[in-house]
Amino acid sequence: MLVCACVIYLTGNAQITVPWSASLNVNFGRGPMNPGPPLAVGKTDFTYTPESCPAKGSYTVVNSIDCRYDLDPKIDATITYNGIFQNAFPESDSGGYMMLVNAGVSADSMVVFQDTVKNLCSHSGYLFWAGITNLDYNACAHENFTMRIETMTGQVIETFQTGDLSQFALDTNHFAYYVGYTSLLIPAPRSSFPFFYGSFFTLPAGVTDVVAKIILDPLKNVYPDCTVHFALDNILITPVSSQLHIENPVFPQGWVIGACFQGDKPVILNGSINYDPLTFGLTRFAGTPYTTPAFQWQQSLDKGYTWTDIAGETNLHFSRSFNNPDTFLIRLRGSDASDINNVNCSVTSNVIKAQVDGMPKDFSFTSNSPVCEDTDLVFRLHGGASYTIAGPNGYSDNTAFPHIYHPGLADSGWYYANIISPGGCRIEDSTRVIIVGPAVKIGKADPVCYGIPVQLSASGGVKYSWSPRVGLSASELPNPVAKPPATTTYSVQVTDNSGCSAFAKETVTIIDTFFKARISAPRYACPRDIIEIKDSSEGKIASWQWDLGDGQTYHSPDPPKQKFPAGNHLVEQYRIKLTVTDTAGCTDSAAAMISAVPNCFIAVPSAFTPNGDGRNDYLFPLNAYKATHLTFRVFNRSGLLLFLGRSINDKWDGTYGGALQPAGTYLWTLDYDDDKNEHNSLNGTAVLIR
């Protein structure tokens, strides 16, 4: 099987290694025993103790702190990283050793650690740095260290003061987090190994051997029995000149590259070099560019503790195929060509983890089949870093949690999965799926004009449920009538005798947007009135057809102004009809009635006879067709309000509270606004005749 190399992004635990340097790299080792072994003779002025908690003036080497300090007991300065010039974070509980010191009051400086470093490159730049942390939360004194580089004869090349290691005086604490970090520092939690200290230095001409020292400055002006406790780890001298970076050309941000042992395509990495200044804490250092750059790719098989050169890989471009499963780290080493064989002169790049996989093991591919059509079909995959699935009905998926919402009967059958390792090795597995439920058949509605009803149809079950309900005559029938206000897709759930359901959809398409025929016209026409009739339809109207009820027809948006005559002492009714057609060819009609009246003079009768003979049975304002804001009141001679009317349809029948009122004369008042919006007030008397 042919597979290609690929890059994998991981978001969980990153790879772990101690900071690396061939010049000086003291990390005190790793081991299960606690305490660990002592330093060699002459490395420190403090006395080794096999106790986990050293007494005043002594030190021990431990992989965890059992003493009662305000610190995580499992700290270590081991670095979790995805590149020396990218991100670096202290890693707890790594099992690495550190030097634990209990220092008492002393008027003299004491060497905490010193070592001789040989075979460096003259005129080259280096960084001398170490992880130091104060273990006392409320210390009676705050230690200050001098970090010094000397020649073999004791001449000082560079010296650096850490400042007080106070938990509360970070402004005087000259710390840095890690190589490549800027001066915009945010203190790390005390539960980690938070701070690194050090400085850049350049070797004088002819000097290749130096002594590196970390010195505890005298603790003065404190109580005689005062002690300070601190931990020391990862003491390094790192070459500084160029900055090297390696990356996969396809995924430049990836820090893990994978390949399959069966592949014939190589793992490809590209290197680059620049001479930007390097920042350590508040200090920036610009190394001298190489005259003739030379390169050597390296690999580590023990998580970065030791590195070996890869034979023949001496270019910025790395390309290699692998035939056996393996996992190792890759980096690029570089220096001037004259010094390439001296690792103490070489800078190193970020690290990329190469993972050459074997075939996936302990893999599986299953599902929750059999399932009803109204239940989600869920696939379960195990044993790979990624997956691809193909199956019936054109199904394909490459997500971590593949599934099919509401599968249909056509989704039954065999599904095949490619189970892919992080490096791209593939193995195939299969599973059979059975979908149970009704065989639903659904109708297909032709496009219709707005307002035209459409009959939906579904079959295959014993129970139906349509949604949404808008525009439906019913939602529980197999064939409801739909009259939606806009194009609507209706979903139907069809259930069979077994209780399994299936879903289907039918769309009712409205040809054009909403439109509605409407007429604006007065209800009454008085003698001599010139009536204006207007179209007030909504929508994209393309044509009009008017029928004015008197034999006249028009095809304009608004017909001409009209005069509608009344009959001889009779009201004449005119039926106005408008038919409109929209841009899609759909039609709609509207109608209005205009009553032509013979008289519009408003008056109140002087007498009425409420005897039920259909003639003069009521008292009300006559001919008030166009009156607005009308108020008609009737009073008896004592001033009691017997009746209140507010429209021309409100009429007094000669009763009050259900009781017949006696014959006689009654007072009335009438207030209204005429068609010119002028207010009118009238009053008078009327005789009730029985």
Tens-place pLDDT, residues 270-300: 999 988 888 777 778 887 888 899 999 999 8
Select from 601, 598, 618 the least CA-distant residue to 609: 618
Q: Give yes or no for a contact between 491 and 503, defined as CB atoms under 8 angstroms apart.
A: yes
pLDDT at position 27: 83
pLDDT at position 193: 57
Q: How confident is the model at residue 1 (pLDDT cuts 50, 70, 90)?
A: very low
Q: How confident is the model at residue 172 (pLDDT cuts 50, 70, 90)?
A: low
Answer whether residue 186 shows pLDDT above 70. Answer: no
Answer whether residue 263 shows pLDDT above 90. Answer: no
Q: Which residue has the higher pLDDT, 362 or 321?
A: 362
Select from 413, 418, 414, 389 the least CA-distant residue to 401: 389
Q: How confident is the model at residue 181 (pLDDT cuts 50, 70, 90)?
A: very low
Phi, psi of 209 (to 5 degrees): -120, 135
Answer whether residue 322 shows pLDDT above 90. Answer: no
At position 529, the amino acid (one-letter code) is D
Q: How confident is the model at residue 173 (pLDDT cuts 50, 70, 90)?
A: low
pLDDT at position 410: 93
Answer whether residue 92 shows pLDDT above 70. Answer: no
At position 123, the amino acid (one-letter code) is H
Q: How confident is the model at residue 675 (pLDDT cuts 50, 70, 90)?
A: confident
Distance (Å, rounded) from C-alpha 94 to C-alpha 74?
8
Select from 595, 582, 561 the least CA-distant residue to 512: 582
Q: Give yes or no for a contact between 540 and 582, defined as CB atoms under 8 angstroms apart.
A: yes
Q: How confident is the model at residue 194 (pLDDT cuts 50, 70, 90)?
A: low
Phi, psi of 218 (to 5 degrees): -55, 140
Mean of the per-residue pLDDT values for the chain? 84
Distance (Å, rounded) from C-alpha 219 to C-alpha 142?
8
pLDDT at position 75: 56
- Is the omega angle on the peptide bond into residue 565 within 30 degrees of 0, that is, cis? no
- Which pair of tokens denotes residue 382? 């195990």
Answer whether residue 510 shows pLDDT above 90. Answer: no
Calculate the alpha carbon distances from 349 to 110, 245, 334, 339 in Å: 36, 5, 8, 17
Mean pLDDT (whole number) for 411-434:
91
Distance (Å, rounded) from C-alpha 472 to C-alpha 458?
14
- Which pair of tokens denotes residue 427? 């193995």
Among the ranges given (6-20, 201-215, 383-397, 501-515), the one the predictor scored with the smallest mean pLDDT: 6-20
Bridge-based pairing of strands 293-300 and 308-309 is antiparallel
- Which pair of tokens denotes residue 194? 């938070």
- Which pair of tokens denotes residue 576? 């106005």
Select from 195, 286, 302 the least CA-distant residue to 243: 286
pLDDT at position 321: 80
pLDDT digits (tens, 9 = 90+) for 250-260: 778 777 787 77
Burial class (CB in 10 A: 0-12, 13-18, 19+), 568: exposed
Q: How confident is the model at residue 74 (pLDDT cuts 50, 70, 90)?
A: low
pLDDT digits (tens, 9 = 90+) for 595-624: 999 999 999 999 999 999 989 999 999 999
Q: How confident is the model at residue 488 (pLDDT cuts 50, 70, 90)?
A: very high
pLDDT at position 396: 95
Mean pLDDT (whole number) for 666-686:
94
pLDDT at position 16: 33
Select from 321, 330, 329 the least CA-distant residue to 296: 330
Distance (Å, rounded) from C-alpha 57 to C-alpha 547?
116
- Is the omega angle on the peptide bond into residue 218 within 30 degrees of 0, that is, cis? no
At position 4, the amino acid (one-letter code) is C
Q: Give yes or no for a contact between 491 and 465, defined as CB atoms under 8 angstroms apart.
A: no
Q: Domains plus CATH for the chain?
A: 18-240 (2.60.120), 243-357 (2.60.40.10), 364-436 (2.60.40.10), 441-508 (2.60.40), 519-596 (2.60.40.10), 607-688 (2.60.40)
pLDDT at position 446: 87
Distance (Å, rounded) from C-alpha 515 to C-alpha 496?
41
Answer whether residue 14 shows pLDDT above 60. Answer: no
Mean pLDDT (whole number) for 509-530:
89
Q: Give yes or no for a contact between 448 and 509, defined as CB atoms under 8 angstroms apart.
A: yes
Select from 143, 296, 266, 272 the least CA-distant residue to 214: 143
Distance (Å, rounded) from C-alpha 568 to C-alpha 625?
18
Q: How confident is the model at residue 168 (pLDDT cuts 50, 70, 90)?
A: low
Q: Give yes or no for a contact between 512 and 583, defined as CB atoms under 8 angstroms apart.
A: yes
At position 364, the amino acid (one-letter code) is S
Calculate the CA 45 to chain-centre distance: 57
Distance (Å, rounded) from C-alpha 260 to C-alpha 354?
11
- Whether the CA torsion 39, 42, 45, 46 is positive or negative: it is positive
At position 415, the amino acid (one-letter code) is Y
Answer whether residue 341 shows pLDDT above 80. Answer: yes
pLDDT at position 170: 52
Answer whether residue 80 shows pLDDT above 70. Answer: no
- Which pair of tokens denotes residue 563? 């005069």
Beta-strand ranges (E) seen in 301-452 are 308-309, 317-320, 326-336, 347-348, 352-357, 364-367, 371-372, 377-382, 386-391, 395-397, 403-404, 413-420, 426-433, 435-436, 441-442
Within a 10 A sphere around the Cβ of 114, how many other Cβ atoms?
Answer: 18
Q: How confident is the model at residue 583 (pLDDT cuts 50, 70, 90)?
A: confident
Strand order in the sheet with 386-391: 395-397, 386-391, 413-420, 426-433
57 DSSP 8-state letter: T
Percent of the chain with pLDDT over 70: 87
392 DSSP 8-state letter: G
pLDDT at position 7: 31
pLDDT at position 68: 64
Mean pLDDT (whole number) for 51-68:
87
Distance (Å, rounded) from C-alpha 1 to C-alpha 92?
42
Percent of the chain with pLDDT over 90: 53
Phi, psi of 576 (to 5 degrees): -95, 130
Among the ranges given (126-140, 298-312, 330-344), the one the predictor scored with the smallest mean pLDDT: 126-140
- Which pair of tokens denotes residue 13? 């635990």
Answer whether residue 2 shows pLDDT above 80. Answer: no
pLDDT at position 139: 65
Answer whether residue 380 shows pLDDT above 50. Answer: yes
Q: Which residue has the higher pLDDT, 500 or 81?
A: 500
Distance (Å, rounded) from C-alpha 451 to C-alpha 589?
11
Burial class (CB in 10 A: 0-12, 13-18, 19+), 168: exposed
Three-class SS state of 398: coil
Bridge partner list, 590: 578
Q: How confident is the model at residue 388 (pLDDT cuts 50, 70, 90)?
A: very high
Q: Give yes or no for a contact between 34 and 54, defined as CB atoms under 8 angstroms apart.
A: no
Q: How many Cα atoms are found within 13 Å in the side-chain-facing hemisphere of 688?
A: 22
474 DSSP 8-state letter: -
Bridge partner list, 331: 298
Torsion of CA 338, 341, 344, 346, to 10 degrees: 70
pLDDT at position 18: 41
Q: How confident is the model at residue 20 (pLDDT cuts 50, 70, 90)?
A: low
Select from 653, 658, 642 the least CA-distant residue to 690: 653
pLDDT at position 137: 63
Q: How confident is the model at residue 77 (pLDDT cuts 50, 70, 90)?
A: low
